Structure 1
Amino acid sequence: MLDIKVVETEQEKKDAYSVRRDVFIEEQGVTEEEEHDGLDEVAVHFVGYEEGKPVAASRLRLMDSYGKLERICVMKDHRGRSFGKEIILEMEEYVAKQGRDTSKLNAQTRAEGFYQSLGYHTTSGEFMDANIPHVAMEKSFK
């Protein structure tokens, strides 16, 4: 099981950024500029540990009426073990506790079915982000 923390310390932030670097920059070829888009400072960050090692990360921006789930990632050798689902459920719980009843995200199209299995529905056509095809999706908690 994943030990998920809302980032509070500098080390937890470094751990979250390390996972994001491995997945988005190293594995998927996203540029440093695209990955660090200037929004990290206004986001709540999450990091997931397995046996003390950071293996999952994400960030959340609270908007007026919804939570925007972003940068959701799991290290390649830890996929297929429901860690992505666990961190998303943790983020959704946080969104609900902050008084929002909807979460939105931009999903890589290859992960669209995964998000649908968690109750998200597609709200846009395909678009490119960081040279990767995406779709916008959302889920209501009402």
Structure 2
Amino acid sequence: MAVTFKQITTSDPLFTQVWQLREDVLRRPLGLSLQDEDLSNEADETIFVGVEDDRVIGCVMVKKLDDVAKVRQMAIAAEMQGGGIGRLLMTEAEDWIWENGFKKISLHARVSAATFYEKLGYEVVGDVFTEVNIPHVKMEKLRP
């Protein structure tokens, strides 16, 4: 079955799967849990998901900061990584970002994922820093 991409909110029934995917891919491998974090501001974010057979296999969240859109919490199901889902999901999010008048996209990428974002046109700005106990870099992309 094909993957479909859509925009959801935290009140969508699929958000439970988004939370679990983020927990499984982004937090549990680091010995952390989303249960220990304040997620109350997520209701104000725009969430993009990739769904296959009623299962969320990818997600990315967009937080609005004036004329900058901050991309965060990109997660792809382990067995789907490397298959192009992340690229397609980012295309969906970027299309929405540019259509909504943002001038720049900013994100904090794990150093291990920086090459993925560079292939999508993002540039590293600044030095390596630690976030959730692992090295990250700030990356940005200007409106084309």
Q: Please name the residue that 2:74 is paired with.
A: 72
CA distance 1:56–1:135, change in 2 (3 Å): same
CA distance in 1, matches of 2:125, 2:94: 18
Contact 1:15 1:47 in 2 (8 A): no
- Structure 1's consecutive aligned runs of 4 or more residues displaced over 2 angstroms after TM superposition are 25-39
What is the letter of the counterpart of residue 22 of structure 1? D
Aligned residues with identical type, % of pairs: 24
Of residues 83, 98, 101, the one that matches 1:96 is 98
Cα-to-partner distance string for 1:77-99 (whole Å, 9 max, x where unaligned): 11010111111111111111111
Q: Is there any run of 5+ residues in structure 1 with no aligned partner, and where?
A: none
Secondary structure (helix, strand or coil) at the match of 2:48 reads: strand
| Aligned AA (2:6) | K
Structure 2 counterpart SS, 1:10: coil
RMSD: 1.7
Runs (5+) with no aligned partner, structure 2 = none
Shift, 1:36, TM fit: 4.5
- Structure 1: how far apart are the matches of 2:63 and 2:3? 22
SS in 2 for 1:39: helix
In structure 2, C-alpha distance between the alignment counterparts of 1:35 and 1:126, rounded to whole Å: 23
In structure 2, distance between residues paired with 1:90 and 1:72? 13
Q: Match of 1:95, SS?
A: helix
| 1:44–1:60 Cα contact (<8 Å) kept | yes
Q: If the length of structure 2 is used for normalisation, what is the TM-score?
A: 0.89
In 2: Cα distance, 1:10 partner to 1:135 partner = 31
Quote the residue 2:6 is aligned against. Answer: 5
Check conservation: 1:16, 1:46, Cα contact below 8 A: no
User: Which of residues 93, 114, 120 is equivalent to 2:122?
Assistant: 120
Provide the aligned length of Structure 1 versus Structure 2.
142
